[in-house]
Amino acid sequence: MLLKIVKYPEPVLSQPGEPVTEFNDELRRFVADLFETTYAAKGIGLAAPQVGVSKRVTVIDLSCGKDPEQKLVLINPEIIAREGKQYEEEGCLSFPEIHDKVQRAFKVTVRAQDEYGKWFEMDGEELLARAFQHEIDHLDGVLFIFRMSSLKRDMILRRIRKAQREGTW
Ligand code: CO
């Protein structure tokens, strides 16, 4: 089922998500819906708060649905190690057409549960490390524009306000 992606400044995007405690069919259906919604929007990741659900659930697929082996489900994830730096362009499905560079760690190690509750650890570098950091930020209510300089953020916020006035946001 396709879910509706909410845009900034929807309040749910700025709230920390609740930890998941029940790993049942309902959760697994929700995870499948998150993937379907990500692919329909041509994204590589989506976090539950972006569909109005304040829970610590996120999905990532760098292949955007082309390679089932790249599907990652992260439930109650945390970053347990960070290494190095990268400064690359990011976008976010809750900020249509906004892209700008964000400073991130080059490599991170994530600890998370899968949709059956099993804990695992995984390393990611470059784009995957950025996806981990961007999506886990969503679960803490932190949006990528708040990882940018205040100058860049203000420019983007002005652009959004203008689009809102014009009815295009
Ligand atoms: Co995002």
CATH fold label, 11-166: Peptide Deformylase (3.90.45)
Residues contacting 140, CB < 8 A, separation 6+: 16, 17
Q: How far is the CA of 167 from the centre of ligand 1 (A)?
A: 22
- Residue 32 has φ and ψ, to the nearest 5°, of -60, -40
Average pLDDT of span 101-114: 98
Q: How far is the CA of 152 from the centre of ligand 1 (A)?
A: 17
Report residue 53 as tokens.
């659900």
Residues contacting 94, CB < 8 A, separation 6+: 5, 6, 7, 8, 10, 13, 50, 143
pLDDT tens-digit readout, 30-76: 999 999 999 999 999 999 999 999 999 999 999 999 999 999 999 99
Catalytic hit among 26, 78, 135, 166: 135
pLDDT tens-digit readout, 8-29: 999 999 999 999 999 999 999 9
Report residue 124 as tokens.
């990611």
Average pLDDT taken over every residue of the chain: 97
78 is catalytic: no
Domain ranges of the chain: 11-166
Taking the C-alpha atoms of residue 18 and residue 76, their distance in angstroms, rounded to an integer, is: 9
Q: How far is the CA of 165 from the centre of ligand 1 (A)?
A: 23
> What is the structure's pLDDT at 107?
98
